[in-house]
Amino acid sequence: MDSSRTSLPVLLTPEDLADYLNVSLRTIEGWRLSRKGPAYVRMGKHVRYRADRVESWLGERAV
């Protein structure tokens, strides 16, 4: 494997994200449905969040 390549971003499940942010899964789902949460990727019926996008989203909310 070529070590000069950058690694792929980590993909978080909605459950992973809820645990990371210490909020309920229902909150994550609500944010997704209202488009208030971090950007996500849909792969068929699966939803995943790129860790770098989550960090950017959090940074945008800093006060």
- Left (φ > 0), alpha (ψ -120 to 50) or beta: where does 5 sit? beta
Residue 4 pLDDT class (50, 70, 90 cuts) = low
Q: Which two tokens stand for residue 29?
A: 């789902």
Residue 5 pLDDT class (50, 70, 90 cuts) = low
Q: Which of 10, 29, 7, 8 is nearest to 18 (CA)?
A: 29
Cα–Cα distance for residue pair 8/11, rounded to 1 Å: 9
For residue range 21-41, what is the model confidence (pLDDT) as tens digits?
A: 999 999 999 999 999 999 999
Average pLDDT score over the chain: 91
For residue range 40-58, what is the model confidence (pLDDT) as tens digits?
A: 999 999 999 999 999 999 9
Q: What pTM, to 2 d.p., does this model score?
A: 0.83
What are the C-alpha distances in Å from 4 to residues 8, 9, 11, 30, 56? 12, 15, 21, 39, 24
